[in-house]
Amino acid sequence: MTSSRPVAVIILAAGEGKRMRSTRPKVLHHIAGRSLLHHVLSAAGALAAARTAVVVGHGREQVAAMLAEQAPEVVPVVQDRQHGTGHAVRVALAALGELAPGDTVVVLPGDTPLLTSATLTALVAQHHARAAAATVLSAVIDDATGYGRVVRDGDGAVRAIVEHRDADAATATIREINTGVYAFAAGPLQTALARLTRDNAQGEEYLTDVVGLLVAAGQPVAARVVDDPGEAGGVNDRVQLAAAGRVLRDRIVEAAMRAGTTVVDPRTTWIDADVTLEPDTTIAPNTFLHGRTHVARGAVIGPECTLTDTTVGAGATVLRTTAERAEIGAGAVVGPYSHLRPGTRLGREGKIGSFVETKSADLGNQTKVPHLAYVGDAVVGERSNIGCTTVFVNYDGVAKHRTVIGSDVRIGSDTMLVAPVTVGDGAYTGAGSVIREDVPPGALAVREGRQRIIEGWVSRRRPGSPAARAAAAAGVQAPGSAGDPEHPDEMPQPSAAEAAVPIPAHQGDVAHRSELPHTGEGEAGIAGIPGAGSRT
């Protein structure tokens, strides 16, 4: 009677979901990175149906938009008047076109995200094996309140499905429930749908009544009891949404661990359904992996990371970091307290350290941004170092501009790189410099004022303060009014010889060491030049 595989899948997603108390259609609420409807579509994908339809009603534009983006092969079918599940299936069949009488039609609710492909495959296999006109997926639960009951005769054959509101006292004691999942032969289904009435408590065309009509017509009807009753649970409110989310979380984390990932604390680890983890990865507590994040072999993520649509290379370490649509290279180190915004790419063995924010930044292999910096709209070559508190000044209030840094560059601490600007290969910038013009390869760019000392200023201007007492204890005496800003004629001035010495445009050679500003590097300097590097 039936074909070797389903020809059509119909998913019922027209309900409003009032108990969600939301302007969003119920089937578009998310758990584990997917909408409820997306989870059902994913499970049904294992059936390899030639045609799939989703019946939409409430929020039809939103549901149709989701389908167009994520499942363009699926046909949205509008149920203008919501006259029940039977009416919804009839509308869907009309939209799907002609079916042979023996073709198989699988009907699913759109709010059952815990259904698995294995359960649906087993349902269809039994349906075919028994050449049934209909096969119902049922579940046996302790409290069947609110569910339709599967009624069997003395021999155990399915006789009917009775909705909860229409159940008498004896029927209400039955613990086997209808899950709303069916496999039908197309011909008998269409015949029974044409005979449905609305003579019931809700005044609707019940799809469940099809079972009784098929039995009355002498057609074989079967039921398959689901192994895990939890799969059949629908989501009707936010409490059930959260509960379903926890179940999916547990499934995903367990599957990851069995596939070779170490999850230190499964209870505080959340991994979306589309995340991929290679073996020998480690996920530390309080970590959230969202979207299509991919973590390669040997990488360590967490604790306290949130990665969304981010790729992490083999052997990388990511600690206390938020990243969205970023790429982290093999062997790289990120964090703690880093924020990688969309468009960030960190090369192999690179580093983005504490309190660093990046955005649309391409950082080459072994390049380091160790701490306290903003790198935006930038391209940085290989083996370069960006010093502490450096800012890539990329926005002029109207448009964004790009900064290009070459390879083997040392950007001094507290450098402001005012885009658009280019720093050539092997160049240096001094600490505190504001770089507005391009820096040639191998040059040192310095831009800062001279340091001036006003002796005794604290004693005169802050008398009695803790600083003044400390200065007095150190033997400092206030030298009259010399250097006092209130006596500008006595302010220290550069000597005539000092004033006559210009500052060279590029101070990069040993002959001008005394004129180089200190960049804040902990060592004497890079290649023997004081102040020519940045903190690391």
Positions marked active-site: 371
Token pair in block for residue 303: 């604790």
Where do we find the tokens 């009355």? 216
Angstrom CA distances, 471 to 452, 461, 464, 487, stand at 18, 13, 11, 22
Q: Strands (DSSP E) along 101-147, which ranges?
A: 104-109, 134-140
Name the helix (H) or strand (E) containing 403: strand 403-405
Q: Indicate the DSSP class of residue 304.
A: S
**Are 367 and 383 a contacting pair, CB within 8 Å?**
yes
- Which residues of 153-200 form beta strands (DSSP E)? 158-162, 176-185
Instruction: For residue 479, give Cα distances in angstroms to 24, 133, 452.
Output: 75, 107, 16
Q: Distances from the Cα of 473 to the Cαs of 368, 433, 455, 481, 528, in angstroms?
A: 44, 36, 15, 20, 37
User: Which parts of 275-404 fold into alpha helices (H)?
Assistant: none
Helices (H) and strands (E) in the chain, counts: 11, 37
CB neighbour burial string for 313-349, b if at least 16 within 10 angstroms, e if fewer: bbbbbbbbbbbbbbbbbbbbbbbeebbbbebbbbbbb
Strand partners for 534:
none
* 444: its two tokens: 């040192």
Specify the pairing of strand 345-346 against strand 104-109. Answer: unpaired
CA dihedral sign of residues 371, 277, 263, 226:
positive
Closest CA to 374 of 398, 399, 353: 353
Phi-psi region of 112 (alpha: psi -120 to 50; beta: other; left: phi over 0): beta
Please name the residue that has the structure tokens 């979901």.
Answer: 17
